[in-house]
């Protein structure tokens, strides 16, 4: 099996439970890794035979634009779409991190990691 990684997708979104988070938003970082059989594309050199990382990034951007209260919710939506829209993907792992969350502590980010398999 082979893996495709799309790392450090940086976005601005409006997720969170606090009303202020819906208004002012926050910075986010998303990492995606998919496991797929890429043997055909490694021989053919054709984009149609692989999992296009441009499309994976588009899914992340589209789902991050839909407000959720919880990071778990948005992570699940992203993973479910990746599996549903890419039949070659056998396993999807992702990490969704909120940069400088609104908590009274000096933290770099808070994050959820999500994994699903076909």
By percentage, how much of the chain surpasses pLDDT 70? Answer: 100
**pLDDT more than 90, % of the chain:** 87
pLDDT of amino acid 100: 82
Q: Tell me the DSSP string of 20-87.
A: HHHHH-EEEEEEEEEEE--HHHHHH--GGGS--HHHHHHHHHHHHTS--SSHHHHHHHHHHHHHHH-T
In order of start, what are the domains of the chain with their CATH numbers? 2-117 (3.30.1130.10)
Q: Say whether 98 is catalytic.
A: yes
Whole-structure pTM value:
0.93
Q: What local confidence, expressed as pLDDT, does residue 95 receive?
A: 98
Cβ atoms of residues 95 and 115 within 8 Å: no
Catalytic residue, candidates 23, 40, 69, 98: 98
4-41 per-position pLDDT tens digit: 999 999 999 999 998 988 899 999 999 999 999 999 99
Helix (H, G, I), strand (E, B) or coil at 93: strand
Task: Give dist(CA 80, CA 4) in Å, integer.
Answer: 17
């Amino acid at each position: 099996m082979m893996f495709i990684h799309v790392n450090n997708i940086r976005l601005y979104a409006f997720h969170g439970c606090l009303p202020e988070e819906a208004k002012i938003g926050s910075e986010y970082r998303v990492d995606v890794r998919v496991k797929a059989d890429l043997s055909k594309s490694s021989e053919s050199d054709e984009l149609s035979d692989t999992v296009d990382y441009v499309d994976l990034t588009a899914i992340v951007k589209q789902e991050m634009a839909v407000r959720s209260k919880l990071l778990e919710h948005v992570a699940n939506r992203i993973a479910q779409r990746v599996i549903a829209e890419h039949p070659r993907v056998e396993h999807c792992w992702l990490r969704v991190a909120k940069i400088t969350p609104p908590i009274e502590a000096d933290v770099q980010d808070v994050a959820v990691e999500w994994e699903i398999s076909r």
